[in-house]
Amino acid sequence: MFDVRRLVVLQEIARAGSLSAAAVALNYTTSAVSQQVTALERDVCCSLLVRGPSGARLTLAGRKLLEHAPAIMGAVAAAERDLASITAARPGVVRIASFASAAAVILPPAIAQVRRALPGVGVELVAVDPDDGVEMLRSGDADAAMVTEVPGERPEFPGISTMGVYNDEFFVVLPLGHRLAGRAEVALAELARDNWVVSTQTGQCPDTRVFRSACQRAGFEPTVSYRAEEYATVQGLVAAGLGVSLVPSLAALGSRPDVAVRRVSGHRPARTVAIATTSPPAPASVLAAVIGFIAAAGAATAESAVCSVAAHASSVA
């Protein structure tokens, strides 16, 4: 094992071309630089420099060692960042990154339960999209993140541990004057000739893949007339008669009074809402307890969030 600080000295000698020039750059004496190199050569049991009157050049072993320098220094820097994030994190606080609809429906009762059961623990909620939430997770800026996945597909975020907490069924959203608005359930195939409003600018997110897969299963390629980032905008476009849409239940729970929300007949498309962590939390940890409350809130949501169709415009109760 060698001192990585000596590797920095070797890097500077290779860059500057001599021990004296490296000493100036590092604010060392030339003797100190020479001693660092000698100690590094002793540590690795081979010669790293050829010294001469015109300067110093790396041996084959020296060049090979410096090939590993970026990875070594990068790993050291990453370890320092991880330790700094642990030191900076407030004790007794669990930071959760979440997309809007999960933050509005699943997390509030879970956070309330944390307050009752773990009075010394606080929960910080950060509103971000799943991709950004996972980035926060990887960087240590969040302890957990709410994400969405497509059932049966490969993991959405490789290297991240996820646990499903809610099966989020998709519902058809129609203008009130639509020919099928009076139905209790609607087959997607009956909407094959309609224009569609979708909830994202790309075709890569789980929601879009669920939508595309459902249409394909129903035997048609959808005609997309409008795309929007937010489900509230989607519903507004549908209410104006500009198309129909497929919306997950968490977003449909806040449906407008001027749209009809109907269950899909036959195969019912769904996404999985999951809680993500960098690794499975220790069973007795605070994070494990908080995740348990989130899972319980998801189960309670599944029992209560049933699309009810009344004689008037539909609501999701």
Pinpoint the residues of the chain covered by CATH 3.40.190.10. Answer: 84-165+272-300, 168-270
Return the higher-pLDDT residue of 3 and 60. 60
Give the least confident one: 165-179, 262-276, 293-307.
293-307
CA dist 39 and 46 (Å) reads 11
Judged against a pLDDT cut of 50, whether residue 317 lies above it is answered with no
Question: Quick check: helix, strand or coil at residue 166?
Answer: strand
Judged against a pLDDT cut of 80, whether residue 313 lies above it is answered with no
pLDDT digits (tens, 9 = 90+) for 106-143: 999 999 999 999 988 999 999 999 999 999 999 999 99
> Tokens representing 196?
């569609």
Judged against a pLDDT cut of 60, whether residue 155 lies above it is answered with yes
Q: What is the DSSP letter of 244?
A: B
Judged against a pLDDT cut of 60, whether residue 28 lies above it is answered with yes
pLDDT digits (tens, 9 = 90+) for 71-99: 888 888 777 766 665 544 445 889 999 99
CA dist 317 and 303 (Å) reads 11
Pinpoint the residues of the chain covered by CATH 1.10.10.10. Answer: 4-69
Tell me the average pLDDT across 230-238: 91
Strand 245-248 relative to strand 161-175, pairing: antiparallel
How many CB atoms within 10 Å of residue 226? 16
Judged against a pLDDT cut of 90, whether residue 290 lies above it is answered with yes
Q: Which of 141, 117, 161, 162 is nearest to 298 (CA)?
A: 162
> Tokens representing 78?
């990453």
CA dist 245 and 270 (Å) reads 14
Average per-residue pLDDT in the chain?
A: 87
Confirm if 291 and 277 have CB atoms less than 8 A apart. Answer: yes
Q: What is the DSSP letter of 90?
A: P
**The residue to which tokens 């939430």 are assigned:** 133
Confirm if 245 and 234 have CB atoms less than 8 A apart. Answer: yes
Pick the CATH number of 84-165+272-300 from 1.10.10.350, 3.40.190.10, 2.160.10.10, 2.40.30.30: 3.40.190.10
> Tokens representing 164?
């499903």
CATH architecture of 168-270: 3-Layer(aba) Sandwich (3.40)
CA dist 157 and 271 (Å) reads 15
Q: What does the buried/exposed string (b/e) look like for 40-57 if buried means 16 or more CB atoms within 10 Å of the residue's CB? A: bbeeeeeebbeeeeeebe
Start-to-end C-alpha separation, the chain: 63
CA dist 210 and 32 (Å) reads 64
Residue 201 pLDDT: 55
Q: pLDDT class for 203, splitting at 50, 70, 90?
A: low
Rg (CA), the chain: 29
Judged against a pLDDT cut of 60, whether residue 202 lies above it is answered with no
Pick the CATH number of 4-69 from 1.10.10.10, 3.40.50.800, 2.30.40.10, 3.40.50.300: 1.10.10.10
Confirm if 274 and 164 have CB atoms less than 8 A apart. Answer: yes
Residue 83 pLDDT: 65
CA dist 302 and 296 (Å) reads 10
Single-letter amino acid code for the residue at 174: L
> Tokens representing 146?
């709410």
Confirm if 149 and 164 have CB atoms less than 8 A apart. Answer: yes
DSSP notation for 106-120: THHHHHHHHHHH-TT
Instruction: Give this prediction's pTM.
Output: 0.67
Backbone phi, psi, residue 188, to 5°: -60, -35
Residue 134 pLDDT: 95
Instruction: Say which residues have a Cβ less than 8 Å from residue 96's Cβ, sequence separation at least 6.
Output: 107, 123, 124, 125, 126, 142, 143, 144, 145, 146, 290
Residue 82 pLDDT: 66
pLDDT digits (tens, 9 = 90+) for 248-282: 999 888 778 999 999 999 999 999 999 999 999 98
> Tokens representing 168?
């989020």
Q: Which percentage of the chain shows pLDDT scores above 90? A: 55
Residue 311 pLDDT: 28
